[in-house]
Amino acid sequence: MNIVDGEKIECSRCGDLIDLDDANILGKSNNQTYAKPLCDDCLQNVGVPKGYELERDVSYLKTE
């Protein structure tokens, strides 16, 4: 994941920059190294596949 300016992240599907407050992280249940940030539009298109978890609050990733 590439955090930009301490509070934005790039959607892994469309490339748009989104605030960490609005980001969704799609990850494998048993694999902490696989985490894909998605914007709301891309999340609607992709959904949450079986075996994946969705994390909506990633504000802890912010850096000042």
In order along the chain (64 residues), what is the average pLDDT of each group of 10 residues? 82 92 84 80 92 84 73
Residue 22 CA, chain-centre distance (Å), reads: 9
Instruction: Give the tokens for residue 9.
Output: 């992240």
Instruction: Give the tokens for residue 15.
Output: 């490339």
What pLDDT does residue 64 have? 64
What pLDDT does residue 63 have? 76
Angle at 44 between CA 19 and CA 23, to 5 degrees: 15
State the Cα–Cα distance between residues 18 and 39, nearest whole angstrom.
7
What pLDDT does residue 10 have? 93
Is 48:17 a contact under the CB 8 Å cutoff? no
Supply the pTM of this predicted model: 0.78
